[in-house]
Structure 1
Amino acid sequence: MGLHDWPGRELSDEELDVAYNVRRKAGEELFGELMVRYRADSDKAVEGLPGSPGILYDEPSGERLDVWGTGDDGPRPVLVFVHGGYWKALSRADSAFMARMLHEQGVATVVPDYTLAPAATLEEIVRQVRASVAWIWRHGREHGLDPNRIVVAGSSAGGHLTGMTMVDGWQGEFGLPVDVVKAAMPFSGLFDLRPLTRVYVNEWLGLDVARAAALSPALVAGARRCPAVIAVAENDGSGFARQSRLFHERWGGELLVVPGRDHFDVVLDLGDPDSSVSRKLLGLVHSV
């Protein structure tokens, strides 16, 4: 796929804005309710849960992560969950709603913060998320985590950041094995960022087409393919649906279209062990 052949190129700027403005699609009332639920469900999930919150994982940025759901049964496989918010909103405190479900299934959860745009460039945000994976590889055992069973998931912008941990070419910089990420499950992710150079999101990203391409998992994937479930909501924004199909075509794995869900509530199903997304995630974790 060349620079003149990317998803949405044939759309007008106004049509692209509609395709990627999922907050407007949801409406302010529903969006606000769901953001409150992210925090409330996360607070409930981690209440009384064993773990180590607030660990500094990256000295240069000062960013921290929370470890939840460790056990007495030895180092546990770990889900790293990367929050969304179009790279400029939300935090680890809003993003642990799956921690209790996973703990009860023998899986630990790590939720990292990253410096939000525009205070950090997208290149720096990607570096920080990769540094959180490197921290688990080096220090996970001290906190009940198995560095040989790391699975990464994330929603929306977090889906993009998940993709940037799946691809080849960055692991050597951190002294990591190329297969440090054993499996992944991006939700409603962004995998070719070039369309975003033409929409409102670029007000805080400041990307040109070349930088957007270099930060696009669909374009820089490399040869290796870890197992993946690429999830998207049935009622997602059309841009996100198209991006998920594109990444599935390029990466492989499984494309999971979740019926009856939209961009913001699909990931909340991870709190329910019987939901389709939880079953798929647990299948990935227990396969590594």
Structure 2
Amino acid sequence: MDGWQNMDRGALDDAYANADYIPDAASFPPRWASDAAAFRAAVPGKLDVPYAEGSGAAFDLFHPAVPPQGLMVFVHGGYWRRFGKSDWSHFAAGGLAAGLAVAVVGYPLAPTVRIAEITRHVRSAVEAAATRVGGSIHLTGHSAGGHLVARLLMADAKPNCTDRIATCVPISPVADLRPLVRQTMNEDLRLDAASADSESPVLAQPVLRARAAVYVGAEERPSFLWQAQALGEAWSIPVHQVAERHHFNVIDDLRSPDTSLMAAVLGSAG
């Protein structure tokens, strides 16, 4: 949504209020948690692997039935303030079916930490997971998680395993944090102009050679369509609008290996 500079707080809050515009939005979080628990019960994994000190600084690592051909990392959203890794386990399904090990990353949440610290935690998580699984690394994340995986391609946040990162697919990312500074949620995020600039992928060029693409639901709020397009234009990478998908179900295509989204994550998209 270009023109955010002229919007007041109420309008900015509304522009990023996804749940208010999704039918039956309240049913999604409990369904995610239930599906994730069922997945963990059915699929063995190494759970709660710590990668740093502090609450939330752990990942769950799932292995495919065959020796893994690489590592997929999924970073969840929730505006850096909500959810945990255990709400998202089932989104490892597509990567596992494609022969990748999958790390579902947790991180400490705002307001306990600021976004810059969350970025550093996610970098540490990727580095720690990379020591456990060889081969190429495929990064993806949703919403705030899309922001976080995009940040790892920037010079000040790149992990020590950069030579192995093959793909990066932010899904519905918040790639420009400047519109958040005047929003009510910033009471938790505590962004100022300088930190919003430094944490915005749209304001810097990626330094890694990873193959990148942006995915966003075609039925998302105009602000998220704009965010996706802004990142695509800033980085000169493809932006894919997924038909009949909104902010809460655009990630469903991670659950199958045979989707355009997973093809991008795997690096096999045309």
Tell me if 1:16 matches 2:12. yes
User: Deviation at 1:194?
Assistant: 0.6
Say if 2:146 and 2:170, in contact at 8 Å, map to a contact too: yes
The counterpart of 1:66, out of the listed 60, 66, 77, is 60
- SS in structure 1 opposite 2:58? strand
Other-structure match for 1:274:
258
Equivalent-residue separation in structure 2 for 1:38 and 1:44 (angstroms): 10
Q: Contact 2:215 / 2:239 at 8 angstroms: preserved in 1?
A: yes
Cα distance per residue 1:129-176 (max 9 Å; x no partner): 010011123x21xxxx22x411111111111111111222333xx6x1
Which residue identity does 2:90 align to in structure 1?
F
The two structures have a TM-score, normalised by structure 1, of 0.85
Candidates 139, 150, 154, aligned match of 1:163: 150
Contact 1:97 1:271 (8 Å CA) reproduced: yes
> Retained in 2: the 8 A contact 1:69–1:100?
no
CA deviations over 1:102-123 (Å, ceiling 9, x no partner): 2222111101110011011111
Structure 1 residue 263 corresponds to structure 2 residue 247: yes
**5+ long unaligned stretches in structure 1:** 1-5
Report 1:135-214 matches (<5 A).
135-137=128-130, 139-140=131-132, 145-146=133-134, 148-171=135-158, 176-214=160-198
Aligned to 1:33: 27
Q: Which runs of 5+ in 2 are unaligned?
A: none
Instruction: Give the match's secondary structure for 1:159.
Output: helix
- Name the SS for the 2:220 alignment partner: coil
CA distance in 1, matches of 2:228, 2:71: 24
Contact in 1 for aligned 2:66/2:99 (Cα 8 Å): no
- Aligned pairs for 1:85-100 (under 5 A) are 85-100=78-93
Q: CA deviation at 1:269?
A: 2.5
**Mapped contact 1:86–1:157 kept (Cα < 8 A):** yes
Using the TM superposition, give the Cα deviation of residue 180 of structure 1 relative to its aligned residue in structure 2, in angstroms.
Answer: 4.3
Looking at structure 2, the residues matched to 37 and 20 of structure 1 have their Cα atoms a distance apart, in angstroms, of: 22
Amino acid at match of 2:91: M
TM-score by length of structure 2 reads 0.91
Give the distance between the partners of 1:161 and 1:224, measured in 2 at CA. Answer: 15
Q: Deviations over 1:8-49 (max 9, x none)?
A: 21333333222111122226xx22211122112222333332
| Counterparts in 2 of 1:103 and 1:238: CA distance versus 1, 3 Å | same
Q: For residues 92 and 201 of structure 2, what CA distance do their matches in structure 1 show?
A: 27
State the 1:264 CA deviation: 0.8
CA distance in 2, matches of 1:262, 1:161: 20
- Tell me if the contact between 2:176 and 2:201 (Cα under 8 Å) persists in the aligned partners: yes
Instruction: Report what 1:3 is aligned to.
Output: none
Q: How large is the Cα RMSD of the aligned pairs? A: 2.1
What's the CA shift for 1:187?
0.8
Moved more, 195-204 or 31-40: 31-40
**SS of equivalent to 1:218:** helix
CA contact (8 A) 1:45 1:98 kept: no
The amino acid of 1:266's aligned partner reads V
Task: Check conservation: 1:150, 1:180, Cα contact below 8 A.
Answer: yes
Kindly indicate whether the alpha-carbon contact (under 8 Å) linking 1:38 and 1:268 is maintained by their aligned counterparts in 2. Answer: no
Question: Equivalent of 2:221, from 216, 221, 237?
Answer: 237
1:80 is aligned to 2:73: yes
Q: What secondary structure is seen at the aligned counterpart in 2 of 1:97? A: helix
Contact 1:168 1:178 (C-alpha < 8 Å) held by counterparts? no
Partner of 1:218: 202
User: CA separation of 1:178/1:169 partners in 2, compared to 1, >3 Å: closer, same or farther?
Assistant: farther
Does residue 113 in structure 1 map to residue 106 in structure 2? yes
Matched, 1:49 2:31: no
Aligned length: 268
Q: Distance in 1 between matches of 2:203 and 2:163?
A: 19
